[in-house]
Structures are given as C-alpha cells and as structure tokens.
C-alpha cells in the first residue's frame, strides 16, 4: 500500500502570489501543487502525494503558535504518513516555518517529517537538532537536485530502518554523537589519520570542532564632530529602477550610489527590491530602511562632521556568508581609501 505524503509550502511555491500574499492563512489543497509533480515522480510507486498545506511566510513567522496549530489540524484531516516541507533553500522565514512544522509533526502526530535547507538557513540553526533535512542549494535553482534527496530520505525513514551517520545517509548532521565498536582502537586510528595528513591524503576527523572567527573591533571614533560617517544597508534599498540589477535575494553584488545632492529618499528616487519582507512601507518611504533624512538632520545639527557622499547597498536575504564577507571587504577598502571614520549599517 502506498504511503500518503502531504507537502508543506509557502504562498510563492504554491502559486498563490509573492509578498502581497505573505499573510495568507493556512489552507489545505488536494492533489498536486507547486513542486508536487516533481515529488510524485521522485517517490514513484512507493508513495503518493495526496495534497499540500500552504501558509504565507509572514503569517507563520508573525503568529507561529496559531499557524502551527492550524497546520497540524489540517494535516490530521489529511491523514498522511509523511510530511515533506519545502525545500526552503536559504529563504529565512520559509526555512523557520518548515523546521518548526516538521518538529511539531514528528512530536504531535508521530509521523515522518523531512525538509531541505541550504546549510546557512536560519531554520537549521533553530531546528537542525530536531529535524531530518537534506542539504540544498541556496535558491530554487537547486530544486531538481533537492527533490530526489528529500524523497529518498523520507522513504528511508518510512521504512523504519535504523538511520546511519548523516554523511552516509546524505542528510544534514543533527549534532548527535553515538557510540559504536570500531575494529581499530583510538590510538591506531589517530596514527592512521596523522599519517594520511602527513602524506597529504584525505582524512576525516572523528570530532569536528566548531570554527568561530574572531573579528577585531575597530577603535572608537574619538572626535565625532570631525568624523565622516557612511551609510550602508542590506535592506534592498536602491535607486529607482535598480540600475545595477542587484538581485532581490541571494545577492551576488552590491551597489555604490552618489547621495551628495540628496537630502531625502522618496518613491520617485529610491525603492526597495528586497525579496524577504513586505516592502509596502519601504516603498512608501525608503528612509524607513535607509534613514538619509535623519542623517542629514544630524549632520546639519553638528552631531558629526560629514555624511559620506556615497551609500553602499545590497540585499541581505539568502545572501551567502562568503558573498557578504566579500562585499564587506570591498566596501571597507573604499572607505579606508576615502577617509571614512565610521559606518552605519541598516537592515530590515
């Protein structure tokens, strides 16, 4: 008998709209929805997609307890054997919703639940120890690769077999360590790893340690009255028309724009392109995200010496740490060259 699978997805992947539909209440939809066709193919004859639960990103994020309860009630009525949530890639709100619902489903309904995250998704940080998830690309470009992995993991869990280590089963590790008997004792394994390292051969440590980068803080600004202050933002504020075609998420670039003749950001000269929040208020007044008007006011009052003539802008949602670090280095080098004393970075 085929296993019954229900998908969870946000409004975008369900074809219900973008940010304008981000507050939609949880609903159930029978049959194939969004990526359901791809999942149906991946599950083959072993499971069938019976429907989907859909909820807006903002709705789940802003009222998680009620959204979770409504989603669980819908799932109970659909009587699934398994929930497949996402994949969420590197979408923050979506990733958190997928993780929260998968954890609740496993706990309250006692059924299999799997999702898919880009390893840097905040959903993994919050729920990675409780939820089975496969690693994905940072955007929906990786859907073709993510779906078969999620289906395979779901089927493995549905079969009831004992799961092996994450690296062998192709899921994201959950921070668990389990004891088992090895044919070699610890000293022999340590020598073996040491020799492989000496010879330049690949090896894998048995105890992976977290890596925490220490960033040396800049010295304080000693004389604000003479300081040049720069404005930066990862909130997706750009000149009207987005002349540098900065991406709405998973940004690959940043822009540098002259504000020397501007005292206020208006819908006529600037806009928000950010793909990770409701842009209504930012489009009405871009100063809400990039407060140029207030900085000009403080500049006139003498709170600091001078506002730097250029703003540095990008979108932060789903942007990889590697790209964010690159942006920071590039922007910082320009600031040093131009004698900027401090920068204010605004977000969302």
CB proximity list for 243: less than 8 A, separation 6 or greater: 255
pLDDT attached to residue 176: 65
Q: Are strands 255-258 and 306-313 parallel, antiparallel or unpaired?
A: antiparallel
Q: What is the pLDDT of residues 277-303, one digit of tens each?
A: 889 999 999 999 999 999 999 999 999
Distinct helix (H) and strand (E) counts, the chain = 11, 12
Higher-scoring residue by pLDDT: 259, 160: 259
Closest CA to 21 of 280, 244, 206: 280
Report, as an integer, the average pLDDT of 71-92: 94
Strand partners, 255: 313
68 in Cβ contact with 33 (< 8 Å): no
Question: Rounded mean pLDDT of 304-316?
Answer: 96
Q: What is the pTM of this model?
A: 0.65
H-run or E-run covering 308 = strand 306-313
How many Å apart are CA 170 and CA 125, to the nearest integer? 18
Angle between helices 92-104 and 64-78 (to 10 degrees): 60
Residue 250 pLDDT class (50, 70, 90 cuts): confident
Select the more confidently predicted residue: 1 or 312. 312
Judged by DSSP in three states, 291 sits in coil
Ordered domains of the chain (ranges, CATH): 3-169 (3.40.50.2300), 224-346 (no CATH)
- Token pair 């807006």 in the structure block, residue: 56
CB atoms within 10 A of CB 219: 6
CA-based Rg of the chain, rounded to a whole angstrom?
Answer: 24
Q: Which of 68, 80, 153 is CA-nearest to residue 116?
A: 153
Q: For residues 56 and 125, which has the higher predicted lDDT (pLDDT)? A: 56
C-beta of residue 313 within 8 angstroms of C-beta of residue 232: yes
Q: What is the residue-averaged pLDDT of the chain?
A: 91
d(CA 324, CA 254) in angstroms, rounded, equals 9
At 178, the pLDDT band (50, 70, 90 cuts) reads low
* Euclidean distance between CA atoms 210 and 260, whole angstroms: 44
- The rounded distance, in Å, linking the Cα atoms of 107 and 83 is 12
- What percent of the chain is predicted at pLDDT more than 90? 67
d(Cα 215, Cα 236) in Å, to the nearest integer? 25
Q: Which residue has the higher pLDDT, 175 or 216?
A: 216
Average pLDDT over residues 58-74: 92
């Amino acid at each position: 008998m085929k296993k019954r699978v229900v998908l969870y997805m946000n409004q975008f992947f369900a074809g219900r709209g973008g940010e304008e539909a981000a507050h939609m209440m949880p609903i159930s939809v029978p049959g194939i929805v969004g990526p359901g066709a791809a999942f149906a193919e991946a599950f083959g004859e072993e499971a069938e997609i019976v429907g989907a639960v859909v909820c807006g990103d903002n709705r789940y994020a802003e009222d998680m307890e009620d959204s979770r309860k409504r989603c669980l009630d819908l799932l109970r009525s659909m009587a699934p054997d398994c929930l497949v949530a996402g994949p969420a890639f590197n979408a923050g709100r979506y990733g958190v919703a997928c993780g929260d619902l998968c954890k609740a489903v496993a706990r309250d309904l006692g059924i299999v639940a799997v999702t898919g995250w880009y390893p840097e998704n905040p959903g993994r940080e919050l729920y990675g120890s409780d939820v089975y998830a496969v690693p994905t690309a940072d955007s929906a470009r990786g859907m073709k690769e993510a779906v078969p992995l999620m289906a395979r993991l779901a089927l493995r869990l549905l079969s009831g077999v004992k799961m092996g280590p994450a690296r062998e089963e192709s899921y994201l590790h959950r921070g668990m360590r389990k004891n088992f008997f090895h044919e070699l004792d610890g000293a022999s394994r340590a020598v073996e790893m040491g020799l492989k390292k000496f010879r330049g051969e690949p090896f894998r440590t048995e105890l992976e340690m977290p890596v925490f980068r220490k960033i040396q803080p800049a010295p304080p600004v000693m004389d604000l009255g003479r300081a040049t202050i720069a404005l930066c933002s990862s909130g997706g504020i750009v000149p009207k028309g987005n002349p540098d075609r900065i991406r709405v998420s998973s940004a690959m670039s940043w822009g540098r724009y002259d504000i020397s003749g501007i005292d206020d950001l208006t819908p006529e000269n600037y806009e928000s392109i950010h793909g990770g929040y409701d842009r209504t208020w930012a489009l009405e007044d871009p100063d809400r995200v990039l407060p140029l008007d207030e900085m000009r006011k403080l500049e006139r009052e003498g709170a600091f010496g001078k506002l730097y003539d250029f703003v540095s802008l990008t979108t932060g949602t789903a942007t990889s740490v590697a790209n964010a670090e690159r942006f920071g280095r590039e922007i910082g080098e320009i600031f040093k060259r131009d004698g900027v004393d401090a920068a204010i970075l605004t977000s969302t």
